[in-house]
Amino acid sequence: MGKPRVPLDPVADLRHRLARLRGAPIAKIRACVRTWWADHDFDKCPASIGKRIATAMIEHRTIEDKLAGIAILEDAVSDQLRVTDLPGFAQLFDDGHISDAVVVDWFTSKVLVALLARAAGRIEVARQIATWRYADTIWQRRAACLAFLELAPAGDDAITDIALRICATVLWSHERFDQTAVGWLLRELSRGDPARVDTFFRRHARFMSKECARHAVSKLPVTQRTALLAHHKRATSIRR
């Protein structure tokens, strides 16, 4: 007996399947995507087709559709993602298709982190993502920070340089999602280069929210942490 026939329009088919999973956990959405992918024999198609479908899904309004698009990028075409894909990803932010904390954090952890995880071309990818720190939307700026969370603890000088430049720019925003992203990135950087984070913290403390500051120093030794938080309190108490 042959393989069951599937609808000719793969995007419509996937959306139909996802309609039954509204509010479902991400694991079920990913399982749905894997089954759908296999049913349509997409492994035999160029990666560009998977990328286009993923983009189309992310452009839809429902969170399940967006997460399914991210799952395609993560599970099906991740080894085919390149620095040349970043402008298209940036456009998704510009057009408001990635503008929810859950979607932003999932997209960053599953797509951008995967791009940066590959040693080949890493610095080029890092520099491109770093330009997002100037973005108009908090979500793209947040993604620029969170993309480096996995690499930050390694203490690589080039990556640390780029990450600190991102932090220095994003800190100018008072938005909570920007501030927490910077705090998390500084926290991870402190694992690999605590001295540079100490210097950065003292120089930029006046721009940090209390929440950002506490995240930033949370992995430092108690004595150093206490001193930096005291410095932050003094810096933010000065009337501007």
Determine which of 47-56, 140-149, 200-209 has the lowest per-residue pLDDT on average: 47-56
Give the number of domains in the chain: 1
Position 3 confidence tier, pLDDT thresholds 50, 70, 90: low
> 211 lies in a domain?
no
When pLDDT is averaged across residues 194-214 and rounded to a whole number, the result is 98
In angstroms, rounded to a whole number, what is the distance separating the alpha carbons of residues 20 and 17? 6
When pLDDT is averaged across residues 108-134 and rounded to a whole number, the result is 95
When pLDDT is averaged across residues 57-66 and rounded to a whole number, the result is 94
> 26 lies in a domain?
yes
> What would the pLDDT profile of 171-196 be if each residue is shown by its tens digit?
999 999 999 999 999 999 999 999 99
- Residue 9 is predicted with a pLDDT of 86
> 72 lies in a domain?
yes
> 74 lies in a domain?
yes
Residue 28: which domain range? 8-80
Q: Of 223, 168, 171, nearest to 194 (Cα)?
A: 223
Res. 162: pLDDT tops 90? yes
Rounded to whole angstroms, what are the CA distances from 112 to 72, 151, 169? Answer: 14, 11, 19
Res. 8: pLDDT tops 80? no
> 59 lies in a domain?
yes
> 133 lies in a domain?
no
- Residue 43 is predicted with a pLDDT of 83
pTM: 0.91
Q: What is the 3-state secondary structure (H, E, C) of 124-141?
A: HHHHHHHHHHHCCCHHHH
> 73 lies in a domain?
yes
> What would the pLDDT profile of 18-59 be if each residue is shown by its tens digit?
998 988 898 999 999 999 999 988 888 888 888 999 999 999
In angstroms, rounded to a whole number, what is the distance separating the alpha carbons of residues 141 and 146? 9
Dump the DSSP string for 193-211: -HHHHHHHHHHHGGG--HH
> 93 lies in a domain?
no
Q: With contact defined as beta carbons under 8 Å apart, do 115 and 81 qualify? A: yes
Q: Find all residues with CB under 8 Å of 89, minimum gap 6, and list them.
A: 107, 111, 112
